[in-house]
Amino acid sequence: MKERFLSDLTGKKWWAPFLAMIVIMVASIGAYEFALFRLDSNSDPAFAAVSVLFALVMLLIFILTEAGFGIVLMRIAVPSISYKDQRFSFDGDPWAFIRLVLKGVGLTLITLGFYGPWFARRCFAYLTAHVEYEGERPKFLGTGGKLLKYALLSLILPLIALLLLYTVAVGLKAASGASGPEFTSWLMVSTLLFELVLFFALIPYVYLVYRWYVNVSWKGRLIAWNTEFWPSVLYIAGQLALTIVTLGIYWPALVIKTYRYFAARTQVTEDGKVFARFSFEGSVGKGFLLLWGQTLLSVITVGIYVPWAYASVLRYFVNGTACDKE
């Protein structure tokens, strides 16, 4: 029997912490950018050191603000979601999560990024473990080692290869004697093509990371994607190509259709057999107008409307999602 998820979240329920988060994050990232901008206007090493340190502190405040307020917002949003007339709950602690993130950022910097996958794993495991439904808490099954493998094979190595190819191409062009306006035009076109290829080259990494995320056990059942690599990557690439061709106008359809594609391939299995399947039944046309409308209202109101926009979009996706028990 197919049952839909429901959400009754409104902007009124979380606008205060949401706007507080936005104000602090905008202020900190603005100060960060200003500090880096000032580096170009003063060559004094002491001034440069202070500016860089200040910029790093502002960046850290940005990250910790997002972490702490993220938990506050989840404590409001998650209980607004119900399934079969029973609500979910979330009891994460903002300060505990801030400490987790602070430690993770420090270890990631000390290890030159190698701790990053385990940091991501700890964050997601924390968030998952603090959700409860029917008296049971899910458990995240992803490992840091697998995420590191994904990062090396689908992100770092392809990036290195593309950068080497681009560098060699520019070097060969310069060695051929090209110069002046002709070389400048060639360099601009080549850089644009390189960035476009780089953009699409990131798709496998994004797919693998999200597949890594959707790996949760609950009541002895496994919730995971049942997807194939190349069909999924090509589907995402096609949606991105349509977004680029339409100069970004298509982006809401990209979000909705990609969510529908992967929702339909999310399964609950028990003892190796399919127990239930997810699906998304929201209208693409309605969602297209909703996402564009909420985006424009957020821009027009200089961000003040963002809490209401997020709530409307969340309701659209949650209320259109269903689970069909086999």
Residue 175: predicted pLDDT: 78
Judge contact between 293 and 314, C-beta under 8 A: no
Residues 202, 315: Cα–Cα separation, whole Å:
29
Can you tell me the mean pLDDT for 73-80?
A: 98
Q: Label residue 1 by pLDDT band (50, 70, 90).
A: confident
CB within 8 A of 85, min separation 6: which ones?
none
Residue 279: predicted pLDDT: 97
Residue 169: predicted pLDDT: 82
Residue 42: predicted pLDDT: 65
Q: Residue written as tokens 């400490």? A: 99
Lowest mean pLDDT among 49-53, 56-60, 205-209, 265-269: 49-53
Residues 7, 309: Cα–Cα separation, whole Å:
14
Can you tell me the mean pLDDT for 303-326?
A: 95
Residue 34: predicted pLDDT: 87
15-25 pLDDT, tens digit per residue, is 999 999 999 99
The beta-strand segments (E) located in 65-106 are 81-83, 86-87, 89-90
Q: Are strands 215-218 and 131-132 parallel, antiparallel or unpaired?
A: unpaired
Can you tell me the mean pLDDT for 71-97?
A: 97
Question: Which helix (H) or strand (E) covers residue 320, if one does?
Answer: none
160-193 pLDDT, tens digit per residue, is 998 898 888 888 877 777 677 777 787 788 888 8
Report residue 3: phi and psi, to 5°.
-125, 135
Report residue 179: phi and psi, to 5°.
-160, 175
Residues 122, 80: Cα–Cα separation, whole Å:
25
Can you tell me the mean pLDDT for 24-41?
A: 86
Can you tell me the mean pLDDT for 186-210?
A: 88
150-166 pLDDT, tens digit per residue, is 999 999 999 999 889 88
Across the strands, what pairs with 224? 215, 267
84 or 185: whose pLDDT is higher? 84
Whether the pLDDT of residue 146 is over 80: the answer is: yes
214-271 pLDDT, tens digit per residue, is 999 999 999 999 999 999 999 999 999 999 999 999 999 999 999 999 999 999 999 9
The beta-strand segments (E) located in the chain are 2-7, 81-83, 86-87, 89-90, 131-132, 139-140, 215-218, 221-225, 266-270, 273-280, 321-325
Task: Extract the tokens encoding 158.
Answer: 């392809």
Residue 41: predicted pLDDT: 67
Whether the pLDDT of residue 298 is over 90: the answer is: yes
Residue 197: predicted pLDDT: 86
Across the beta sheet with 215-218, the strand order is: 86-87, 81-83, 2-7, 321-325, 273-280, 266-270, 221-225, 215-218, 139-140
Task: Extract the tokens encoding 179.
Answer: 């110069």
Question: Which pTM does this prediction carry?
Answer: 0.92
